Every structure is written in C-alpha cells, then in structure tokens.
Chain A
Amino acid sequence: NAGVTQTPKFQVLKTGQSMTLQCAQDMNHNSMYWYRQDPGMGLRLIYYSASEGTTDKGEVPNGYNVSRLNKREFSLRLESAAPSQTSVYFCASSGRDRVADTQYFGPGTRLTVL
C-alpha cells in the first residue's frame, strides 16, 4: 500500500497563475483533508471531505477550491495564486483504528508563489 500520495512534490508559480494539487489514498478511507503548514503557524485545515460527494470549509478556505473526485482522490485548486499561498500543503485521510480516527498524511507539496 502506498498510503497517501501527493503530486507534485514541488511547484513554483507566478502570481495569478492557477494549479491543482492532487491527492490519492489507497486505504479505503471515507474522510480526506487538505492542510497548509507555515513556519511558526502549525497545521491549518483548508477543506475536508467527510465522504465521497461532500466537501466542507475548514479554518482557511479563502482562495482555494476542492473536488472529491471519488473515494480515493481529493484535489485542491488555486484559481489565482497569491504570494500568501506560499506554503507546504499536506493531504491526509482518516480511518478508524482501535480507539479513534487516525489521520495519515501524505509527503506534502512545497509551493512557492512569486
């Protein structure tokens, strides 16, 4: 099992350009998440999807859109990138273990917006 995979690993954009970050999981999890991680800020939730066909805003959704393409895939789109969106983006999925839902994170996408 690959777990959670993300593409691309690195990306440089110019202000105003658009791009889509891809995420896929092979653990048959219902829930998937997109986070951003900035120095000194910790992880912040952008959007999540509790199940296929549903998406909800998290703490910092402005400037982003998401698509839950199917149970495996959850993409994050930046329509018009801004320098404030320079960050490391993590996708995660969660499934219930013995005690509670455990989140499994992908390796991250490092995005720089010039």
Chain B
Amino acid sequence: KNQVEQSPQSLIILEGKNCTLQCNYTVSPFSNLRWYKQDTGRGPVSLTIMTFSENTKSNGRYTATLDADTKQSSLHITASQLSDSASYICVVRGNNRLAFGKGNQVVVIP
C-alpha cells in the first residue's frame, strides 16, 4: 500500500478560481513533508516544506497546511493562473527515506 495518497487524481479549474489538493500519509516516524510542482516535460521543483511543528506555510499563491496528528496535508492554490497547470507531488520523509505520492494533475482553463 502506498504510504502517500493524493486526491483528487486530477481536476480542471477555471482561471482565477481557487483549488485545494489533499495528501494523506502513513509514514512514521515523520520528519518533513514537501510539495513539488512538476510542469509537463520537466523535473519537479520544490514549492514548500513542512516540519512537524508547522501548521501553515505560504509561497506566493500557494499555501500548504499540515496536521501531523491526522497525517494530512493540503496545498491551496489561490486565484489560479494558466501557469499553475502542472502535477503537484507530495513527498514525505521518514526513517531517512522519501515516500512519493502519485501527484495531483491540475489543468487550469481560461
């Protein structure tokens, strides 16, 4: 069973609208959680990193949250732009290993 589950698998949103991506994990012990953005045909790029003590962290229009008790994280995209069309990958570190989610595929349409 995958230790990192992301939902929804894919979604289509209108430009200017907000959306929220979910990441649930079972990795234990927990060290940190990262969200990566992967544009089509490119390698992933780190957006944010969350440690155990952090609840919320923002990077421009991206806001990540972490609930370490329920082992859930979310990535909120505000006022989406066409350039937000990408796959968003949740990666959890624990036991000196990385567990990768399969990604949330986001398509922003005008």
B43 CB-CB contact with A under 8 Å: yes
Q: 1/0 per residue B28-42: CB within 8 Å of A?
A: 000110100000011
Residue of A at shortest CB range from B93?
A100
**Would you call A42 and B41 a contact (CB within 8 A)?**
no
**Would you call A43 and B51 a contact (CB within 8 A)?**
no
Instruction: For B44, list chain A residues within 8 Å (CB).
Output: 43, 90, 103, 105
B45 CB-CB contact with A under 8 Å: yes
Interface of chain B residues 73 through 106 with chain A (CB within 8 A): 89, 93, 98, 100-103
Instruction: For B55, list chain A residues within 8 Å (CB).
Output: none
A45 CB-CB contact with B under 8 Å: yes
How many residues on chain B are close to A (CB under 8 Å)?
Answer: 19
**Would you call B51 and A99 a contact (CB within 8 A)?**
yes
Instruction: For A105, list chain B residues within 8 Å (CB).
Output: 43-45
- For chain A, give the interface size range: 10 to 19
A21 CB-CB contact with B under 8 Å: no
**Would you call A100 and B49 a contact (CB within 8 A)?**
yes
Question: Which residue in B32, B42, B49, B100 is a CB contact (below 8 Å) of A42?
Answer: B100
Task: Show 25 A/B contacts (Cβ-Cβ < 8 Å), sorted by A.
Answer: A40-B102, A41-B102, A42-B2, A42-B89, A42-B100, A42-B103, A43-B89, A44-B100, A90-B43, A90-B44, A99-B32, A99-B49, A99-B51, A100-B31, A100-B49, A100-B93, A103-B46, A105-B43, A105-B44, A106-B43, A107-B41, A107-B42, A107-B43, A108-B42, A108-B43
Extra contacts, 7 of them, besides A42-B101, A45-B98, A99-B49 (Cβ < 8 A), are: A41-B102, A42-B100, A43-B89, A99-B32, A100-B32, A103-B44, A103-B98
